[in-house]
Amino acid sequence: MHVVLLGGAGYIGTVAAPRLVSLGMQVTVVDGLVYRRAEDPRCLLPSACRFIHADLRDPDVLSEALAGADAVVHMGGLVGEPACAVDERLSVELNFSSPVMAAHTALACGVPHYVLFSSCSVYGRHEETVTEDTEPRPLGVYARTKALAERHVTHVLRDQADVTTLRLATVHGASPRQRLDSVVNRMAAQAAARGRVPLNGGSQRRPLVHVADVAAVLAAVLERPAGRRTLNVGSDRENHTIRRIAETVAELVPGTVIDVGPERDEADARDYRTSFARLGAFAPDTCTTPLTTGVSEIAEALATRQITDPDHPEYDNLKGLRLRHATGRLRALKSPELNRLHDLYARATVDGDRGR
Ligand SMILES: NC(=O)c1ccc[n+]([C@@H]2O[C@H](COP(=O)([O-])OP(=O)(O)OC[C@H]3O[C@@H](n4cnc5c(N)ncnc54)[C@H](O)[C@@H]3O)[C@@H](O)[C@H]2O)c1
């Protein structure tokens, strides 16, 4: 099976690619290496992977990469609300327009299976437990671009290809392309580097999943395509409050002090409990790695000096993006096709459905 990973040199892709190669799959990775210090992907990806260093908004690159593929996985773009707030137009190009362009290319190339990486962030704030059938209530640009990409990719490929949407919980754990900017990894790195974890409030719940488990779910869905399918990716056992995550970090990293401050996470009001029953029925053994494993891996990476400067922009998508953006190396391209897709996004947003 030939699988194309768009954005596959990132935090999740560099864990998923070796897993797919080990299962005998032929893997092509297309990535612009937005956050890397070095431009050489060989330290990130197995030598058996074909690597194309390119922008995901380049239609010629998409056609070249997807020709003859059995599956395409879109896992690129900007992750999280703070990164998407840097430049909304760029975020729409990368998180909405690029997946939709890839869907059109997949259709033209006859690729039979499209896997779209989305996020549990699409749910927003809900009192009740959310399932894949819960109406998305995106609260910001990131969640909205994801929710609308889900809908439009499915629409472009309707009846022509299998479409799997993976709504990921917040991911934690070690990766060749390490990120330390999501909640678990950040707290573990702060504890290991400084012995302190800031906690402001912390009553919001976050569903969590280990990065290796995401790779396992991807392998399972690639091996068993099934029409149109949406899966929350995580585990019912791993729905934690932010406070519980901080306490777990403090238990695992000796001497850690939790600095409790006032609740101030207004910008990130996501709060929901997620059901992973559908994934549990489809692939029961895929998401079993506990929070403690991810915390220990990050603490170990600092203790053994695999990571020497946890504050380096390489580990933080927001800092890395700001650097790239400020120097003009990553900007909205505003090509006619991207402008057309931006208008589609803007109409869907203004229509009041805001991704629902
Ligand atoms: N990590 C999480 O906690 C999490 C949670 C929910 C959903 N997701 C989703 O999973 C996917 C992968 O996330 P990740 O954590 O691996 O993020 P990441 O930032 O590490 O990976 C994204 C990759 O996309 C590439 N990219 C970005 N813009 C590009 C462009 N214009 N051209 C070419 N390449 C470009 C980057 O270089 C990077 O390697 C994303 O779709 C994200 O929304 C991640």
Domains of the chain listed by start with CATH number: 2-174+210-236+270-289+318-353 (3.40.50.720)
Rounded to whole angstroms, what are the CA distances from 332 to 62, 89, 90, 182, 292?
Answer: 18, 6, 4, 25, 39
d(CA 89, CA 271): 26
The amino acid at 229: R
Helix 98-109 × helix 336-348 angle, to 10°: 110
Residues in contact with 244: Cβ distance below 8 Å, sequence separation at least 6, in sequence order: none
Average of per-residue pLDDT across 188-212: 91
Which amino acid residue places its CA nearest to atom 43 of ligand 1? 79
Ligand 1 pocket residues where CB is under 6 Å? 7, 9-13, 31-35, 55-57, 75-77, 79, 94, 117, 119, 168, 170-171, 177, 179, 182, 317
Task: Supply the pLDDT for residue 240.
Answer: 92
Which amino acid residue places its CA nearest to atom 7 of ligand 1? 119
Q: Which atom of ligand 1 is found nearest the CA of 74?
A: 41
Tell me: pLDDT of 161 over 70.
yes
Per-residue pLDDT band at 203 (split at 50, 70, 90): confident
Extract the tokens encoding 284.
Answer: 């029961």
The backbone torsions φ and ψ at residue 3, rounded to the nearest 5 degrees and listed phi first, read -115, 135
Task: Supply the pLDDT for residue 264.
Answer: 60
Q: What's the pLDDT tens digit per position in 312-356? A: 988 999 999 998 898 888 999 999 999 999 999 999 887 655 444
Average of per-residue pLDDT across 128-142: 93
Which amino acid residue places its CA nearest to atom 11 of ligand 1? 75
| 221, 228 contact by CB (below 8 A) | no
Rounded to two decimals, the pTM is: 0.95
